[in-house]
Amino acid sequence: MENQFDLSLTVNGVSYQREVDPRRLLSDFLRHDLGLTGTHVGCEHGVCGACTVLLDGAPVRSCLIFAPQAHEHEITTVEGLGTIDDMHPLQEAFREAHALQCGFCTPGFLTTLLPWLEEHPQPSEEEIREAISGNLCRCTGYQHIIDAVKLAAEKMAAG
């Protein structure tokens, strides 16, 4: 097709080159073109936070970014945090605190919290509530997520 964009970017440390329709949302590109289906899509209007990924280290809504806008940038998705056998302390903490039920919103919480915890190593409950208020969860009432964030902070402080 004529109106294609030659996209190169790095996702979870891996370089990719792809031709994309410029209107392709980054969320769709990651999920369906690169097969990184851990990033979930819940609203496609920037409210629910499920599709949050890191763009050059900062959490953003991947449903509000066109794929070509990630050209020459670095993206981190939930797949970049840790593996089943070697989970990130944040992921471990989510498991220990039962911070997920259906798990659909979880990748967005993890990507939101990863850089935030680096900047807030000893967060208060109020700060945590504020930090995750851009991520909707319908299962947990957020309480176990807050427990998990506190636990993760302890784990990360302990190294």
Please list every residue from 71 through 90 that binds another protein, using CB under 8 A.
Answer: 71, 77-79, 81-84, 87
Identity of the residue, 119 or 159, whose beta carbon is nearer to another protein in the bound complex: 119
Kindly tell me which of 122 and 127 has the beta carbon lying closer to another protein. 127
Interface positions, 88-107, toward another protein (CB under 8 A) = 91, 94-96, 98, 100-107
Q: What is the nearest approach in angstroms of another protein to the Cβ of residue 6?
A: 12
For residues 122-141, which are near another protein according to CB under 8 A? 125, 128-141
Q: Which of residues 12-41 bind another protein (CB under 8 A)?
A: 21-25, 28, 31-32, 35-41
What is the amino acid identity at position 90? L
- Going by C-alpha positions, the residue among 78, 90, 84 that lies closest to residue 123 is 90
Q: Which of 142, 151, 152, 153 binds another protein (CB under 8 A)?
A: 142
Q: In b/e form, how buried is each residue of 35-71, taking b as 16+ CB within 10 angstroms?
A: ebebbbbbeeeeebbbbbbbbeeebbbbbebbbbbbe
Structural contact between residues 120 and 127, judged by C-beta atoms closer than 8 angstroms: yes
Residue 7 structure tokens: 């996209």
